[in-house]
Structure 1
């Protein structure tokens, strides 16, 4: 089992920003786990501009905005896995991941340090604001998930 200080599930805008913020706070042993072929999440599909006005003081398209964060992740040498699906979380803060290398196990030290199972960071006043039950790629609370699935475990245990 590999141990990491912080494990971030999802390499979209929030995951990338969280990784960069952790690194800026002095945490270097970070792993981003992304189920898709590349980092950037839904931003890669948002071709309109207007992103980045607050963070980068310039208007960027979604892919340009994502690339700014991807570049920061690369420059800071933050580790990431692509095409990797999280298939389990244990009460011992272990994360099970399946990818082309098979089943891998990781342990997140920061979660263990604070004795929490899952830390949810949300920009909005409410968790899952703007998320619909059709977006099954987002772990959220408030929807009926099939019992026994990972999403149901998050809603119950998280």
Structure 2
């Protein structure tokens, strides 16, 4: 386990990159089953042959779940997620694509509601094997301040 980090231990511009993960047809099927989203965009290969993409595209919520799940390698018992903002899917993800996530600390600020914590803003970018951004958002989390 990583060393517990207080708010004051985070540095603007700090970056990390996850390992990659190849998206499979099983991911599509399992995610559709979990969510109930069986839209043709994700599940009907024949219908999507004539689409602008020429093939099925991944659920945005699946791309988010996997892309964020890849970041769970760093566990800090002094911090917790407050939420995600400005979520976008600028490019589609296809079966066979390999994605990874890059994170950059872009904001450190006090938290007015919780004086014992600071708010950390982390820019999240999920990229495919071609270096194209397929998901972009800001992760906001809170970390305990030193006493």
Same fold (TM over 0.5): no
Q: Identify which of structures 1 and 2 has the higher relative contact order when contacts are C-alpha pairs closer than 8 Å and 6+ apart.
A: 2
Q: Which has the larger radius of gyration?
A: 2
Higher helix residue share: 1
How high is the TM-score relative to the length of structure 2? 0.26
Higher strand residue share: 2
